[in-house]
Amino acid sequence: MTELLHLDALSVGWPGQAPVLADISLMLHHGERVALVGPNGAGKSSLFLSIAGVLAPLGGQVRLMGRQMQTGQFLPDVALVFQQAEDQLFCPTLAEDVAFGARNMGLAGAALDLRVAQALAACHLTGLATRPVHQLSGGEKRRACIAGALVMQPALMLLDEPSAGLDLRNRRNLMTLLRQTGQALLIASHDLELVLELCPRVILIDQGRICADGPAREVLGDAGLMAAHGQEVPHSLTPHERAPHMHWPQAGSGS
């Protein structure tokens, strides 16, 4: 696979404060789906901001498709989907919000309309284009954020807790949508069952560093490793003894 993202000895933090993450090195390939897991405060969101060019690295480099990324530039090849949809949706209508990124890429007229329609269709939002964003349901808002990312046709999507606050139906719809995208995905999530279904590879970060990077089932199924970093093995990877059960007598059986 072709290298897409390369973090080389990256240190991440806020100006005037100690680094949240230090000496982070990893590679992501085109089309790869990778999960980023770890306790609250481990630096997952800060890492996303640096990859997206919002937060300047304290050290090291972020390289996308071989080019060093510059903080503060508009980067259509990288799309960040925030944890809180309300932090991302700000235009009066759904269509205007989804069009925002593509319009900043210079698209206009019929080309822009087509790109927006395609993104809405991919996220099962066709028919809601003129709806005010504040009237969308929680699941619709989450899909609207993803549509706003897809409209730019990025090479990499960064998703911060994409299933947070969703009911079971909307969570399942979200997983189906993400599974069908062709972009590389880097997903930060505490929803480890979602991680298992979507991401063949998992990176565990804690205390400012990468603690594990490998196949999802191996990393998430390592009880000692997970416990050492404040995590639990997903339920589906936990061995279970078959519970005893009984059959009640059928009515009229005479028993």
Taking CA atoms, 209 is separated from 157, 203, 206, in Å, by 22, 10, 6
- Report pLDDT for 150: 94
What does the pLDDT look like over 168-194, one tens digit per residue? 988 998 999 999 999 999 999 999 999
Longest dimension (CA), the chain: 80
Q: Radius of gyration over alpha carbons of the chain, in Å? A: 21
3-class SS of residue 226:
helix
Spatial contact of 160 and 81, defined as CB atoms under 8 Å apart: yes
Q: How far apart are the first and last CA of the chain?
A: 66
The Cα 201–Cα 217 span in angstroms is: 8
Most confident among 92-106, 204-218, 233-247 (mean pLDDT): 204-218
The Cα 116–Cα 131 span in angstroms is: 14
Taking Cα atoms as reference points, which of 214, 222, 157, 166 lies closest to residue 194?
166
60 CA to centre of own chain: 23
- Report pLDDT for 130: 94
- Report pLDDT for 248: 62
What does the pLDDT look like over 215-253, one tens digit per residue? 999 999 999 999 999 999 999 998 766 656 666 665 555
What does the pLDDT look like over 13-52, one tens digit per residue? 988 888 999 999 999 999 999 999 999 999 999 999 999 9
- Report pLDDT for 255: 46
- Domains with residue ranges and CATH for the chain: 1-71+192-231 (3.40.50.300)
